[in-house]
Amino acid sequence: MASRAHTTVELVPYDQGWPARFAATAAEIHAVLPDAVIEHVGSTSVPGLSSKDTIDVAVGVRDVEEALDPEVLAALEVAGFVHRPESFASDPDHAFLHRIVGDHRTDHVHVMRLGSAPLEGHRLFRDYLRAVPEAARSYESMKLDLARRYADHRSAYVDQKQEVVDRLMVEARAWRRRT
């Protein structure tokens, strides 16, 4: 039977401790990838926004393949980060690691090439939700609805949420052009 970390969805109210958790995770990653640009992204990076209690981290590197060197991956694994090569397998500019403690996903780490579309997309989405409270409230409302409908079906939640994110990214790109 799959663990709760792989099957369930639970959103919680914004936690004032998330920025400190991000800082601790960033320090662990920085110790292994000292030249990386490390940023807090995702819902936990938007003050006031409900989220899964999982810190999303964007790690910008010059070369993703170099950052996935076996020695680097081994050092990250010592800190609990597990590379998931099947995630984003078709995108050479994006790799994914996660950390699960017990049955809880504590961190999602996205390693992306500096200047790449995936990295810029993560930044834009975060910045848009921080700057446009109505968009953040709308996103939160949709996520809460999806979490109720797919509480025990994480993959369905993720798929449905991606459709919401894609729609909001259209708005975010228009917002960026205006600002």
Show me where the domains of the chain are located: 6-174
3-state DSSP assignment of residue 151: coil
Tell me the pTM: 0.92
CA atoms of 10 and 151, how far apart (whole Å): 7
Please, which residues bridge with residue 12 across strands? 51
Nearest CA to 107 among 54, 38, 37? 54
Is residue 29 within a helix (H) or strand (E), and if so which, with residue range?
helix 18-32
Q: What is the pLDDT of residues 98-142, one digit of tens each?
A: 999 988 899 999 999 999 999 999 999 999 999 999 999 999 999
- Residues of the chain with confidence (pLDDT) below 50: 1
* Letter string b/e over residues 153-177, b meaning 16 or more CB atoms within 10 A of that residue's CB: ebeebeebbeebeeebeeebeebee
Cβ atoms of 124 and 176 within 8 Å: the answer is yes
Provide the pLDDT for residue 116.
96
C-alpha span between 69 and 73 (Å, rounded):
6
**Which of 102-125 are b and which e, b meaning 16 or more Cβ less than 10 Å from the residue's Cβ?**
eeebbbbbbbbbbebebbebbebb
Residue 2 is predicted with a pLDDT of: 53
Question: 6-174, which class in CATH?
Answer: alpha beta
Helix (H, G, I), strand (E, B) or coil at 102: coil
The pLDDT of residue 154 is 86
Residue 1 has a pLDDT of 43
> Token pair of 178, please?
């205006």
